[in-house]
Each structure stands twice: as C-alpha cells, then as structure tokens.
C-alpha cells in the first residue's frame, strides 16, 4: 500500500461536516430528517438570523445569515431550533476522535472542519480508501454527513471538499489545477472574498487562471504579501504543514452583541459595554493572557460600522479595567446616533506569566502591598508547578459567567482552545 503514497510529497484530507448544526439536530431527533430545518437565534429578537440550515431548507433559497423573518417568508413550514452548543461540541469531539484514529497529525480549523495528514497512514489503506472509511465511520457512529477533499496540500484539500456536498469525496491533484480551477471566477477561490475580488478585478484579474499568471509586483502593490500568497495558491502551491497545535494559537479575544433595539441612551450603552467587558475578562483569564491593546466596534442603526482601538499603558485582564478603557474609547468616538451593535476586543495578547506591569506613581503603592503575597505564590509555583494556585476570585468569576458565553463565534474559539486538551492521549498509558 505504501507505493500508493508519494515518495516526497504529502497526502492531506480536509474533512468538512455538512450543515453541521442542523445535521446534529437531525441525528438527535430523527423526525427532523428530510424536512426544512434552520438553526437560528431568538425569533423575538433582532439577532434571529439563520446560523445554518438543512439542504432541504436551502432548496427554498434560505441561506446562512439570512434574517429569520425572511427565511419564513420563503418557507412558511420552516422548522426552527435554537443552537445547542453543548450538543454540537460533543458531536465535534466525536468527529475529531475518529480522525485521530487515522493520524496523529490532525488540525482542527473550526468546530466542524479539520485537516488530516495521512502521509504515513498507509497501513489503513490507500488515500481514497481512508477517506471513504472516515466518511462511513462518521456516518455510522455519529449519524452525521461530511465531505472530504483529498490533495497534496491544505489549500487543494479545502478546495476539493467544497466541490461535492453533501457526502462527497473529491481528489484534487496539482496537475488538475489548470483544467479544474483556472477557468473559475477569481471569487470562487478559497481565500478570496468580495473586497479582495474587487481589487483583483481592478487589475484585470477575472479568473483563477489570470491570478496564477499575474504580475507579482502588481499583486504585492495592491494586496501586499497576501497577493503573492494567493498567486501561489492559484498555482496549487501551499507549503503549510498540518499543525495539531495551531488550534491553541489566538491573536485576539473579544465579544460583541446585537442589541434588541436601537439604543441611544448613554447610560444603557455603557451598561452594555460593562457586561461585554466582563465576558472578555473571563475569556482572557481562562486563556491566562492579558490584552495590551483594546478596540471597540460600534454599528449604528444605518449599519455603518466603525472600529477604534488604543494601546494600553499596561496589559489588562480585569473586567473593571476593560470596562473603563472601553467606555473612554466609546465616549470619545460615539457620534450620538442610535446604535444596534457594540463590541469589545482585546488584542496584542501577552501570556499571564510574561506580562510585566509598568507601574506608575499611582499604582505602585497598591501593588507594593501585594508583593509579599506574590512572592509566596511564586515560591509555591516553583515547588509544585505553575498550576498549583489559581486566584479564587478569577475562578469564581469564570464559573459564574461561563454559562453566559453562548455566541457561536466564542463557542468556536473556546472549542478550539479545549480541543487539544480533550483529545490529548494519556502519556502514561502510551508507555505501558
């Protein structure tokens, strides 16, 4: 079987669950199968938009992010379920456990998709046989459909998995790129969104083939280093390895909320920011990082959106400090118009143990009083390990607010953080 694998290259699968949330609900309640089903937020609130929907619902023209009222116009018999994130998390862990049976090189991209490097997995069969076996196993064990792309790199594997849905398996080789990918519109390429597509078309780049042959200097001038990266992808080149630890990497932590109605009262808006700051604080503490910069997002009732940020004198993690900084930033940039969405994001994250506080005259005395406690804690950590002490206040706050963190975005990020912990093998068992 080894001869069916490349001597020098890689064989990578991209496993993409089909209509994941809706499929999980159907597996949980088989009476929903074959019916138009949508997963959406609270229908009474403005945030009632379609998170995902079944293929039966899509046949009526229903799409992700469509307002629920519009979806019901298209399909009056639409069945609506609120998201059940614990249910989806359990199903996702089950899916990734199956992938780990075939390779130790599994990289989750989100709750419902991931890459698997099967280059050294020839004992399980040919690449196509492994893809078929994984697809059948996920269906048999979890009652969930998936599509799988088989390719020599991550970009082509991702592209291939999108070609046949649901329950498709597609092999895409580098030699297939000129005939299969190049004739497509440039926006059809993974990694090219609407704005990037507009910039490429301004350079007379209409197709993926045009991008593959484009002038590198023009691309770099228009899109920076990303332009050169996109040209490589258009030629089927992607050197990124499948990295099981990539899920633990994060660059920012934030939270936003769409308000149930347009708010213009300053007191109400500051209270919303205070709640958002508390949630962001919890996430920072759970990940044991501090934010060196803070940004706020304001979306007005006319949907005009602005983002404003500031570099902080000291890294922060405490909810009160985040609320104070965010409120100051908000009051500086709010024009007084009614608002439909607010968000706070901490960026330039630093590890908790690496954060160095630049103490000023006002904070020095307060911090100095805590120094004996800090020294005692440090001695205990040195003797028993860094996890021996957790501040009780942090743990209480985390436990208190965990149940309130329910948006799909935060759920996906938190899931990725926890993924490696949940599936990490027992090292002692491996040695027995």
Virtual torsion, Cα 108, 110, 115, 116, nearest 10 deg: 40
- The residues facing 171 across adjacent strands are 150
Cα 59 to Cα 26, 63, 167, distances in angstroms: 17, 10, 17
Say whether 422 counts as a known binding-site residue. no
| Residue 216 annotated among the catalytic residues of the structure | no
**Whole-number CA gyration radius for the chain:** 24
Sign of CA dihedral 264, 266, 270, 273: positive
Nearest CA among 20, 158, 164 for reference residue 92 = 20
For the chain, the distance separating the N- and C-terminal CA atoms, rounded to the nearest angstrom, is 30
Give, for 328, the enclosing helix (H) or strand (E).
Answer: helix 319-333
Is 323:311 a contact under the CB 8 Å cutoff? no
Tally the residues of the chain.
432
3-state class of 26 per DSSP?
A: helix
Say whether 428 counts as a known binding-site residue. no
Nearest CA among 229, 197, 199 for reference residue 212 = 229
Nearest CA among 203, 204, 158, 199 for reference residue 13 = 158
Cα 274 to Cα 267, 381, 396, distances in angstroms: 11, 33, 18
3-state class of 1 per DSSP?
A: coil
3-state secondary structure 257-300: EEEEEEECCHHHHHHHHHHHHHHHHHHHHHHCEEEEEEEEEEEE
Nearest CA among 162, 163, 155, 230 for reference residue 196 = 230
From the candidates 56, 113, 321, 325, which is the catalytic residue? 113
Measure the CA–CA gap between 242 and 117, rounded to whole angstroms: 6
Which residue numbers belong to the known binding site for Mg(2+)? Answer: 16, 112
Indicate which residues carry an active-site annotation: 113
């Amino acid at each position: 079987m080894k001869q069916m694998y490349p001597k020098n290259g890689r064989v990578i699968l991209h496993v993409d669950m089909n209509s994941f949330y809706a499929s999980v609900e159907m597996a949980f309640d088989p009476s929903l199968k074959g019916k138009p089903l949508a997963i959406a937020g609270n229908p009474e609130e403005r945030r009632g938009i379609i998170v995902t929907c079944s293929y039966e619902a899509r046949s009526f023209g229903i799409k992700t992010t469509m307002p629920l009222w519009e979806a019901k116009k298209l399909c009056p018999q639409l069945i609506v379920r609120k998201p059940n994130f614990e249910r989806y998390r359990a199903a996702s862990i089950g899916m990734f456990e199956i992938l780990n049976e075939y390779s130790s090189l599994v990289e989750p991209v989100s709750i419902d998709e991931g890459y698997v490097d099967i280059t050294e997995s020839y004992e399980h069969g040919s690449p196509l046989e492994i893809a078929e076996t994984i697809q059948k196993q996920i269906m048999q064990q979890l009652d969930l459909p998936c599509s799988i792309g088989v390719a020599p790199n991550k970009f082509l594997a991702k592209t291939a998995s999108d070609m046949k849905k649901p329950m498709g398996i597609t092999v895409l080789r580098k030699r297939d790129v000129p005939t299969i990918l190049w004739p497509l519109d440039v926006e059809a390429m993974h990694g090219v969104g609407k704005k990037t597509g507009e910039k490429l078309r301004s350079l007379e780049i209409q197709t993926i083939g045009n991008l593959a042959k484009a002038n590198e200097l023009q691309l770099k001038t228009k899109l920076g280093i990303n332009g050169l990266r996109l040209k490589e992808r258009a030629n089927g080149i992607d050197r990124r390895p499948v990295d099981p630890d990539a899920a633990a990497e994060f660059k920012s932590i934030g939270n936003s909320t769409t308000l149930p109605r347009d708010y213009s009262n300053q007191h109400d808006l500051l209270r919303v920011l205070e709640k958002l700051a508390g949630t962001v604080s919890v996430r920072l503490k759970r990940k044991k990082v501090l934010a060196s910069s803070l940004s706020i997002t304001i979306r007005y009732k006319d949907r005009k959106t602005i983002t404003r940020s500031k570099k902080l004198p000291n890294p922060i993690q405490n909810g009160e400090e985040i609320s104070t900084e965010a409120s100051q930033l908000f009051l500086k940039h709010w024009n007084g118009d009614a608002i439909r969405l607010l968000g706070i994001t901490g960026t330039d994250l630093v590890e908790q143990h690496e954060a160095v506080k630049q103490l000023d005259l006002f904070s020095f005395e307060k911090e100095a009083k805590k120094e004996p406690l800090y020294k005692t804690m440090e001695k205990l950590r040195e003797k028993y390990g860094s996890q021996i002490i957790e501040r009780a206040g942090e743990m209480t706050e985390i436990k208190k607010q965990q149940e309130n963190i329910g948006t799909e975005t935060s759920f996906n990020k938190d899931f990725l953080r926890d993924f490696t912990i949940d599936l990490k093998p027992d090292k002692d068992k491996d040695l027995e």
